[in-house]
Structure 1
Amino acid sequence: MKIGILTSGGDCPGLNAVIRGVVLRGTTSHDLEFVGIRDGWRGVVDGDFFPLTRHEVKGLARSGGTILGTSRTNPYDGPRGGAQNVAKNLERHRVDGIIAIGGEGTLAAGNRLYNDGINVIGVPKTIDNDLRATDYSFGFDTAVNIATDAMDRLRTTGESHQRCMVAEVMGRHVGWIALHSSMAAGAHSLCIPEVPMTIDEICNQVTKAHDRGRAPLVVVSEGFTLKGMVEAYSDKGLDAFNRPRLGGISEVLAPEIERITGIETRATVLGHIQRGGSPSAFDRVLATRLGLHAADAVVDGAWGRMVALRGTDIVRVPFADALGELNTVPLERYQEAAALFG
């Protein structure tokens, strides 16, 4: 049996560890053959495949990025898109199925292809931790570590000048990275999509911290909305799945905080630095385990399913369970962190 492996959507630490886990388990335990698919779904619609053996995956667990390349291509768009063309490409290269490693957009495309008769198994990837069918997705822990380190650095410069520092992290429409990194870094205010706030509420927390002699640190998730805002801030257009490219809300908040409080305020958008570099030990282990179990799922014919983490176990769940409703931050988790604000 020959299986294609692709990575799609935003890159993330741990992708290479999944690829390595799939190939090692598949070749040593199940006698599977693998091909790499270049640049996500783009490689599927273009038939851009290459042999993937143990030699190509050696030492990959510690490497960031993805050796396969990635893109935000929608396999149903364009003149070569659609399930019929995908099926022809797979048949031409004698590929029996696809392991798709990606986030919500990737898995939604995989689910649609599966419903159209293509064999697809999913592996959840997102630094945002927004897929509800898995307790954690690989890449999240690394992103939190990177964000926390950046905030530690921002605090030292903020304390030197008695400035308010506003750190913006990724997360799209959920606030998990912001929640975890803000608690780890000891932030004085947390702004996440699940809990809209007024600018006065934020400024009140900033002022309280400043009055105690602290240099306030405000952590804001890119999808945060002030009360009264209809949608998250975006001035970067749409991605290939017609979703707004978020980012920049910190640069809206910072001048307002300075105007209202009189405290010199600076904004820092951490951006893609959260996606780069080597994965943390936790993410290396989780990604590897997901890869091992994805190979097992192929042998068992568990098409249309995604491997996921439940507690400490790897399980298989239908694509539908991972899509639609986001894994948002519960109010009680925000209230835990709120005890540290101001």
Structure 2
Amino acid sequence: MSSGKTIGVLTSGGDCAGLNAVIRAVVARAILGYGWRVLGIHQGTQGLLRRPVDFVPLDLKCADSAMARSAGTMLGTTNRGDPFAYPMPDGSRKDRSEEIIEGCRLLGLDALIGIGGDGSMAILRRLAQQGNIPFVGVPKTIDNDVGATETSIGYDTAVMVATEAIDRLQPTAASHDRVMILEVMGRDSGHIAMAAGIAGGADVILVPEIPYDIDVVAEHINSLRRNGRNFAIVVVAEAVRDKTGEHVRLHHALGGVTYGGIGHVLGDAIAQKTGAETRVTVLGHVQRGGQPTWDDRMTASAFGVHAVDLVAQGKFDRLVAWQHRRVVDVPLTAAFELTPLTDFDDTLVHTARGLGICLGDSKTE
């Protein structure tokens, strides 16, 4: 692509720390490296549905260091409203994909860079394929469950927030002879729980990939007490199932359903089986906010620059990824074909067991 081209950038799906750092890198590389025009699309695909299209020209004035350290996304985002089955006011569903494709054409985009997780990335790819839109994807999700990349934007910050929460819970747990339970996000993945639990020195870590027995958990806590410890820290991922094998969910006023509540279920069960006083902390969206860590800023910057370079090379339908300490790119479909969930052979699982952390099953190192 030659100078004078126009590229669009948008964020889609849930917010997380580091998104603005990606946008900043895209703007800086596109303008300084290639002399291109960059348009930021508001609210993800929602901005492309509006008429006139909801966008803002992005220049070097916004691509400063303050933008790199700011949380959230300056463009806004959405994780609702599948454009292929868009909810209408009368309760029906309508395919509005062509409207979004038309929005890209109205902006005169020569390429589109989308920053999203596996779900939103799948939708963006389908739109790009249908509309013949040159598209490059950048992975972001605190859950770290996008395939083919070792890390995603937002994951490191979320783990840091969860680790700090453990650090703060430990002294009060010891002061009051309590079992403190911390419920963290992660969707269907246990990455946040496992990494933060190890870093924070948790006694029990429960993740959805490893079935647990509440009696094993209770016995581990009791053994700590028999050995003179007056407290315990339990970290549990939101998608861990209850004793019936079902997910615990929250039903929201406007009809949304999300994971949440397993911490309180476990708190009651642990109290009954151990006689220990339990308290539950649910971090929730706290994990998405706050200034991004240096690692998220650095990774986001590398991803943004590489995404623009892919556009310059005419390499589309690609996902920017982090593998073996460097930025690479892979077919976008790789984001959906492999979800790197924690498993029995995972390095962090082996590490946790080696540290004597209970994972809820009977297996030990």
Q: Residue type of the partner of 1:23?
A: V
Structure 1 residue aligned with 2:29: 25
Q: Does 1:69 align with 2:76?
A: yes
Pick aligned residue for 2:279 from 229, 246, 266: 266
Q: Between 327-336 and 302-311, report the one with greater CA deviation.
A: 327-336
* Distance (whole Å) between structure 2 residues aligned to residue 14 and residue 220 of structure 1: 25
Aligned ranges for residues 115-154 of structure 1 at < 5 Å? 115-116=129-130, 117-154=132-169
Conserved in 2, the CA contact under 8 Å of 1:163 and 1:216?
Answer: yes
Match of 1:209 in 2: 224
Question: 1:65 corresponds to which letter in structure 2?
Answer: G
Deviation per residue, 1:53-107 (Å, 9 max, x gap): 1112222111111100111132323368533212211122212222110111111
Give 3-state SS (helix, strand or coil) of 2:62's partner. Answer: helix
| Deviation digits for residues 39-64 of structure 1 (CA, Å, limit 9, x no counterpart) | 11111222211111111222211111
Asked if the contact 1:44–1:75 (Cα under 8 Å) also holds between the matched residues in 2, the reply is no
- SS class of match (2:258): coil
Q: What is residue 58 of structure 2 aligned with on the other side?
A: 52
- CA distance in 2 between counterparts of 1:132 and 1:279 reads 22
AA paired with 2:85?
D
* 280-289 vs 93-102, which moves further: 93-102
Instruction: Say if 1:123 and 1:238 are closer, same or farther in 2 by CA, change over 3 A.
Output: farther
Where structure 1 has 5 or more consecutive residues not aligned to the other structure, the ranges are none
Residue range with higher mean Cα deviation, 325-334 or 265-274: 325-334
1:41 to 2:45 alignment: yes
Q: How far apart in 1 are the matches of 2:197 and 2:138?
A: 28
Cα RMSD for the two superposed structures? 1.9
Aligned-partner SS, 2:157 = helix
Q: Quick one: distance in 2 between partners of 1:290 and 1:113?
A: 22
TM-score by length of 2: 0.88
Q: Decide whether the 8 Å contact of 2:111 with 2:134 is kept in 1.
A: yes
Is the contact made by 1:98 and 1:119 (CA closer than 8 Å) also made in structure 2? Answer: yes
Which string of whole-angstrom CA distances, capped at 9 and with x for unpartnered residues, describes residues 296-316 of structure 1? 111112221111101112111
Q: Distance in 1 between matches of 2:247 and 2:145?
A: 16
Name 1:178's counterpart in structure 2: 193
Distance 1:212 1:3 in 2: 62
Once the two structures are superposed, the pairs formed by residues 219-234 of structure 1 within 5 Å of their partners are: 219-226=235-242, 228-229=244-245, 231-234=246-249
Which residue identity is paired with 2:233? L
Given candidates 115, 119, 124, the residue that maps to 1:105 is 119
The answer (yes or no) to whether the contact 1:134–1:309 under 8 Å persists in 2 is yes
In structure 2, how many angstroms separate the alpha carbons of the residues matched to 1:272 and 1:186? 22
Alignment-derived partner of residue 156 in structure 1: 171
Q: Does residue 88 of structure 1 match 2:88?
A: no
Partner of residue 3, structure 1: 7
Q: For each residue in 1:167-211, what CA deviation from the matched residue of structure 2 results, as whole angstroms up to 9, or x when unmatched?
A: 011111111111111111111111001101121121112212222
CA 76–176 in structure 1, closer or farther in 2 if over 3 Å, else same:
same
Within 2, Cα distance between the matches of 1:10 and 1:212? 43
Aligned length: 339
Question: Displacement of 1:293 after TM fit?
Answer: 0.4
Please report how far the alpha carbon of residue 232 of structure 1 lies from its aligned counterpart in structure 2 after TM superposition: 2.3
Equivalent residues of 2:84, 2:95 under 8 A apart: yes
Q: Which structure 2 residue ranges, 5 or more long, are not aligned?
A: 89-93, 359-365
AA matched with 2:63: V
